[in-house]
Amino acid sequence: MTARVASEAEAEGAAGGSWNHGLAALLSSSALFGVMAVLVRAAAREVPASQIALVRFVGSFLFMLAVTRGRDLAPRPGNAKRFVLRGVLGATAITFYFVGIEGAGAGLATLVQNSYPVFAALIAVLLGDERFTRRLGVALAMSGAGALVVLGARVDIGSATTVGIPASIAASMLAGAAVVTAQQLRRTEDAAKITTWFMGVGVLVTAPALLGGLPRVAGATAWLLAGVVLTSVLAQWLLHHGLGFTSASQGSLAAATSVFLATVIEALTLGDLPGVRTLAGAALMLGAVALAWRRPTPQAPATAPRAGTDLAADPRVAG
C-alpha cells in the first residue's frame, strides 16, 4: 500500500513538473512574440506588412528545414489535413491582422485580435475538448480587460475604417481556431514537425505578397527582418511545445500576454519606463493565466489520440 501511494505521488510530481514546464515554454514564447511585434513595427517603416509576413514564413521554414534536416516530417496517419488546416488558419489570421492594422490602426487592431483566447476556448468547448467553467470565464474576462487597459491609450476608433475592425475580428477567430488545431496535433506530433509544416504552408498562403514586387532590404532593415525570423520561429516552436502540456484555452491565455510585453519593450527602447496603466494591465493578464492554469486531469498517452472531435473533421467548423 505504501509503495502504491509513493508511486502515485511520484507520478503526480512528474505531471506537475510537465505542467510547470508547459507554462514556462508558453510564457517564453509570449516574450519572444512581444519582441517580434516590436521588430515588425520597426521594419514596416520600409517594407510592406504583407511582405514582412512572407519573409517571416520563408525564413522560418528554411530555419526549420535546416534544424530538422528535412527528416521525420511526414504526418502520422490521419493528421495531414490538420497540418494543412493549422497552417492555413495561422497564416490567414496573420494576414487579416495586418489588414486590420492598416484599416483600424495598430492599437485597435491589436486589442480586437487579442480576444482570440475567447474564440479558442469556445471552439475547444464546442468540439468537446474542454469544459467551460466559471474559473475559465473569469480568466478570459480578466485577460480582455488587461489588454484594454494596456492598449486603451493607443486605440483610435475615429480613424478605423469599415474594413479594419471586421478584419481584426476575423484574425482573432482564425487565431483561436489555429491554437485549438495546434493543441490537437500536439497529442500525437512533436513541436518541430508542427512548426515546420506551419511555416511551409504559411509560405504558400503569403506568397501573393510577391505580386507587389520583391521587398527592398538593406542595412538596418535586413537586421530587423532577420530578428523577425529568429524570434518568430523560436516563439512558434515554444508555443507548439507548450501546448503539449496544457489545454488550448490555457495556452492562448499565456500567449496573449505578449501584448503588454511588446508595449513594455517599446517603452524601454524609447527611453521611457512602463506606465502604471501598462503595469496594471499586465497584472490583470498574468492573473488571468494564473487563474486558468490549474493542473489538467490525466490524459491518454501522446501515441493515442484522445476522444473528441478535431477541427479538420468536424463539419461545424470544416464546412
10-residue stretch averages of pLDDT, the chain, 319 residues long? 39 50 84 81 80 90 92 88 92 82 65 79 82 80 75 56 75 89 90 93 89 75 90 92 85 76 68 67 72 53 45 45
Of 87, 308, 81, 289, give the one whose Cα is nearest residue 187: 308
Grid coordinates representing 247 are 489545454
pTM above 0.85, yes or no: no
Determine the pLDDT at residue 62.
Answer: 95
Determine the pLDDT at residue 156.
Answer: 54
Position 176, amino acid: G
CA-to-CA distance for 286 and 146, rounded, in angstroms?
9
Which phi and psi angles does 113 have, rounded to 5°? Answer: -65, -30
CA-to-CA distance for 207 and 216, rounded, in angstroms?
16
CA-to-CA distance for 74 and 57, rounded, in angstroms?
19
